Structure 1
Amino acid sequence: MPGIVGIISSNVDNELLEQMISSLRHEKWYKVDKYLDSFFGIARVHLGIFNPEPQPIFNEDKSLCIFMDGKIYGYDDEMNELKSEGYKFSVGNDPEFCLHIYEYYGIDFVKKINGDFVIAICDLKEEKLLLANDRYGLRPHYYAINNGKLLFTPEVKAILLDKNFKKELNDETVADFFAFGEILGNKTFLKGIEVLPPASILTYDRGIISIKQYWDFNYEPDYSKTEDEFVDELVETFKKAVAIRMKDNYRYGVALSGGLDSRSVVAAIEKDKRKDVFAFTFGPLDCNEVKIAKNVADIAGMKHKIIEITPELIIDNAENEILYSDGMDYIGVSFIPPVCRVVKDNNNIDVVFDGFAFDLTLGGSYLTDEIVNTKNKDELLKILYAKQRFFSEIELNKLFIVDYYNKIRHYPLNSFEKEFKVVKETHPGNCCDYLFLQNHVRRWTIGGQILERFCIEDSVPTYDNNLIDVILKIPPELRLNHCIYRKFLKKLSPELASFIYDKNMIRADAPLILWKAGAIYQRIGNKLKRQIWKLSKGKIFIPGKRTYVEFNDWLRTNENWKIFFKDLLLDKNAMSKTYFNQDYIKTLIREHEKGKKNNAQKILYLASFELFLRLFMNKDF
């Protein structure tokens, strides 16, 4: 992912910095801004879309300079205030504003800016560095301290270029990856490298590093407000969030699915501007998601393109996905970079809107009646731990060889308990959402944004600061079952709310009882398809058509997939043999092919780890 890469040290290695920059240039057309000083070497690798002007930008007396990746919004009043205080703006862009507001407010400046960003400010006189990110960590950057020097980068692999860095697999991360299907906390697959936590201000002062958290998700439910009052406030705030993100002269697109999050973004765009926004949807041409999205685009009056996803697109781009994500995502999303290239090249989109995590923040997608009504935290911990498991404990015992399983068997629970203890909320519903926002969304859902940014920029109005501040006041009982979400969408756009939702194939504005009935019907249908395949011994196949990827179907019927995964995982020289029991992998494949279980997702994760080992642990970058 493009971003800011740097070395902070008393003796900056320019050759290493150049190698790190080169490792981030996945496209020849990427742009690079670089600056060297006595105590730092920093570069910005970027797409030339947001803030294309050269960096760093200096203040008037050249005592400070700034590098910035990302975009901030809605600061006209603050800029005018700074001008009235005598600050000069020679460029007038986001980083220059951030530099001057830092001069005026000090490190509290980050509390006053709204957007997604990573900022590096260097004090050239005092030889200090400040590295700050947005509230939510929407542009992940990683850091390591090695032999007294600080290295930071948007991709882990760049740090591995330091020949003095000891490359060692983090077993706790391996345990997370398979126990939960994602990584918890700030870990990476490499010991000594962590992701910068959200809402962080990292300072480096003569070899001493400190990290301060300046914001957190603090739920303060306001039970004095009516549901209608919340709906009105949500609609007004969300429309403003979308509007301020459309003020600049970019070519906009929206990744439109069959769900409600991207539909909400479309609904919030002013009707006379929708014709200038290009909607695109990816998936098999006959899947429900594509059909729903096309109808939504037609109702909204937007241009729309369908980009087909095939099984081969996934496996052909599998290695690149592992390289781009540093192995922290799985190859099931490897279609995103090629899809975004098509969008960029054929439709001239600069910035794509996304309904990022709206189903969780507003829709309570992880909440259940059981969770909301849990009486104590110990019981809640058990419920959430069970809900989050991917491979069960019994399955992990079968998957890993004996010695390795005994080594890591306690790591998943320890890791989960550690993240659970961070949660300060009292209401179980708010505890649940906090935990999953800071882990599932920040470390897994964000993977789609990371992969998009390899060729286009993205904008997430669903994570607008003012909108999140409103959501944090909504009682969890109203977020449960998309209760307030459905009313919000209906108020925002009655015509778009009247169309079906891909998860249950029921109108978005339908009563909850119909939503639940639709979801049950979909589950029964999926189970019945698998049973027919099983009982007919593979002779009768009813393809799934609900979503944009059908991994379970593809791994049963697509010969290229069967060959790819068997060759990768059952190879006698597979690096994962050090960790995995290949006989159990054969069992997973056999169970899946016969229709006894749907194991495709797990097999994709196993393949992802094998590729990570080959690409990261068996070679130098």
Structure 2
Amino acid sequence: RFKEKNEEARVHFIPYLKEGVFVTLCAPVVIKLKGARCYLKGNVFLENEFLSTERLAELISSLICKEEQEKETRDFLEKLNGVFALVAETKDIIFCVVDKTRSTPLFYVKTKNSFIVSDSAYYLKDKINPHLNEENAAEFMVAGYVTGNETLFDDIKQVRNAEFLIYQKNDGLLKSCCYFKFLHGNYYELPENALLEILDRTLVNAFSRLVKSTSQQGKTLVVPLSGGLDSRIIVAMLKRLGANDVICVSYGRKGCRESEISKNVAEALEYEWIFVESTAKKWRENYNSKEADLFRIWAANLTSLPHMQDFPTVKELKLQGKIPENSVFVPGHTGYGTYIPDSASFDLEAYLEASLKKHYNLWPYGQEPEKVFKQRVSKLISGLEIKDNETFANALEYFDSNERQAKFILNSVRVYEFFGYEWRIPLCDSELIEFFLRVPIEYRINCNLYKKYARNCLFSGELEMLQKIDCTTDFLNLKALKKRSIYEKVLHYRTFAHSYYDQKVNNPVWGRYFENPLISRLLIKVSRYDNENIDDYPLLKSILEYRNEEKYPLTVNGMSSLEYLSGIKGETYASRSKKVIKPAGSPVKRPL
């Protein structure tokens, strides 16, 4: 914690959190200027030039020290590209901002006489001892994250993506401003070939920024290379731009199709390939380890489901020294497709039904929770018009970008930080985001433009061999499945049968909970699933009872969300020792 003259206005960042050799967290860069102090995590580009932390601090400080700074600050922040969280403090104000994707979260508490901002929601929880918000907890249970600026506890808030806060110390006023919105419009009126050319230039720019801030600084790029399209585009772009210090990593059941495809892609590009085998036993040992408990607290931050999928792999890479200490992970997170469900009408009610089906699906639930969730989604898209398929799709993507992508998908990068590595997300580059916001809907449906670019443009010439390697993303045939011939459907199902088996049937990740995953999952389909730690929360209990009555199958993430909630009340961040502890007498997580 950094104390200032005003004891009631405080800025707190976790300097480090260390447990054995497993946990090393990146501290913020602290820049002291005349009249201001800035705390920064991340890296930032302005007009395609990398900004040093000192230069960014100077620019921000000059803006926030002005009397009427809101519009100028908004315009400046909209121009920034990169992943970052920044807090600046002067004698009069505290200024907080996160990037357009909320890749590095910030949390805050405002009471009558104080304001505290931190990158640890647990730190704030210790400070004010708030109440668990049951509606927020129910949303977390079925969606995997808490929407809006809420967290699981009353009075602890989060800075939303593309948002900045200004807290006035003298009068205690807090103002929130949005500097960018994920809204489609100002569409390109160009033929497909022209759009593909713009997309190509945009991707080259995005990956040039990546290479400039990593490879050209002597860092090794580590790409989690799956059998899908996004990570294949990443390694193809790196090869195209001449990046040589690249390691491709794959994990899963030995002999699984994803890893076989990954190996073929890496070998075709002449990149080093590392495979980390996953077994149910490994998963059980890792999931129940002390460092996994620490990671869940660090990664979830009372807001998002901890992303455990990469945890055993990154841990093994770290402990066995398989990748350099200066490695930078480059996952293939993106969201450029439009999903339009079959619907007889395009109105608010149809939108709410589609949103709940897509996002609120970790647990089944009855009418009462459904009503609560619909009210929350309605509030988040307030002001958006829904009248046809285009506005319907825009509203779906707006929610997806602000909530699922920002809170759930991108939160997976916490695992890299936890083990002391940097990360970049080039497919979420601001220039790419702004490009796709201008792409007409007919090119966004089923990611058609994105897939055509890979098939016809990127995977050509020296990279043409990438077209011929199997892919778990169907990018060669862009027809909707229901419009394909019988022969085309047979090819599709034959291609994806192995992936279904690996993901749904024989997935070692279920070893988190069961010694014999397949048998246990079959038995639990016809039995009750109880957790006594939620008995005091009627809404949560009703969701669990609904599942038990209807005997719906369980999901990995659903079990994880309930487990996290069942143990959350006893978890504490001790600021003095810089360790995560459980106080005596706290509820113990019940083994699942």
Q: Distance in 2 between matches of 1:275 and 1:222?
A: 37
Kindly tell me: are residues 208 and 550 of structure 1, through their superposed partners in 2, closer, same or farther at Cα, counting changes over 3 Å? same
Partner of residue 200, structure 1: 163
Of 17, 24, 42, which aligns to 1:25?
17
Q: Please tell me whether residue 417 in structure 1 is matched to residue 378 in structure 2.
A: yes
Q: Distance in 2 between matches of 1:429 and 1:450?
A: 30
Partner of residue 299, structure 1: 268
Aligned to 1:245, the other structure's residue is in SS state helix
Deviation, 1:280, is 1.0
Contact 2:187 2:439 in 1 (8 A): yes
Listed as ranges, the matches of 1:140-539 within 5 Å are 140-162=105-127, 165-206=128-169, 207-220=172-185, 222=187, 224-248=189-213, 249=217, 250-271=219-240, 273-311=242-280, 312-313=282-283, 315-317=287-289, 319-324=293-298, 325-330=300-305, 333-344=307-318, 345-348=321-324, 349-357=326-334, 360-361=335-336, 363-364=337-338, 367-368=339-340, 370=342, 374-390=345-361, 395-397=364-366, 410-421=371-382, 423=384, 427-454=391-418, 455-490=420-455, 491-494=457-460, 495=464, 496-503=466-473, 508-512=475-479, 517=489, 521=493
Kindly tell me: are residues 437 and 8 of structure 1, through their superposed partners in 2, closer, same or farther at Cα, counting changes over 3 Å? farther
Q: Distance in 2 between matches of 1:71 and 1:438?
A: 21
Contact 1:280 1:304 in 2 (8 A): yes
Contact 2:330 2:426 in 1 (8 A): yes
Q: Please tell me whether residue 606 in structure 1 is matched to residue 562 in structure 2.
A: yes
Listed as ranges, the matches of 1:59-208 within 5 Å are 62-73=34-45, 75=47, 94-102=52-60, 107=73, 108-124=75-91, 127-162=92-127, 165-206=128-169, 207-208=172-173
RMSD of aligned alpha carbons: 4.1
Contact 2:126 2:572 in 1 (8 A): no
Q: Distance in 1 between matches of 2:531 and 2:503?
A: 37
Letter in 2 for 1:500: D
Kindly tell me: are residues 192 and 554 of structure 1, through their superposed partners in 2, closer, same or farther at Cα, counting changes over 3 Å? closer
Gaps of 5+ in 1: 32-44, 80-92, 398-404, 530-542
Of 1, 10, 34, which aligns to 2:6?
10
Q: Distance in 2 between matches of 1:422 and 1:12?
A: 36
Deviation, 1:511, is 4.2
Kindly tell me: are residues 6 and 210 of structure 1, through their superposed partners in 2, closer, same or farther at Cα, counting changes over 3 Å? farther
Q: Distance in 2 between matches of 1:513 and 1:204?
A: 50
**Higher mean displacement: 131-140 or 596-605:** 596-605
Deviation, 1:27, is 5.1
Deviation, 1:582, is 8.4
1:360-399: CA deviations, max 9, x gaps? Answer: 22x33xx03636x95434433333334433267xx435xx
Deviation, 1:553, is 8.7
Count of paired positions? 535
Q: Distance in 1 between matches of 2:494 and 2:145?
A: 26
Q: Distance in 1 between matches of 2:244 and 2:505?
A: 26
Q: Distance in 1 between matches of 2:342 and 2:476?
A: 24
Q: Distance in 2 between matches of 1:340 and 1:9?
A: 42
1:179-220: CA deviations, max 9, x gaps? Answer: 434322222111111110111221121222111111111211
Deviation, 1:465, is 1.5
Q: Distance in 2 between matches of 1:370 and 1:584?
A: 27
* Higher relative contact order (CA closer than 8 Å, sequence separation 6+): 2
1:491-523: CA deviations, max 9, x gaps? Answer: 1123323322225xx5x3234357883797279
Deviation, 1:114, is 1.0
Of 28, 47, 54, which aligns to 2:26?
47
**Higher mean displacement: 64-73 or 547-556:** 547-556
Q: Percent identity?
A: 18
Letter in 2 for 1:121: A
Contact 2:283 2:509 in 1 (8 A): no
**Normalization by structure 2: what TM-score?**
0.78
Gaps of 5+ in 2: 64-71, 574-581, 587-592
Letter in 2 for 1:606: L
**Higher mean displacement: 197-206 or 181-190:** 181-190
Deviation, 1:228, is 1.5
Kindly tell me: are residues 520 and 329 of structure 1, through their superposed partners in 2, closer, same or farther at Cα, counting changes over 3 Å? farther
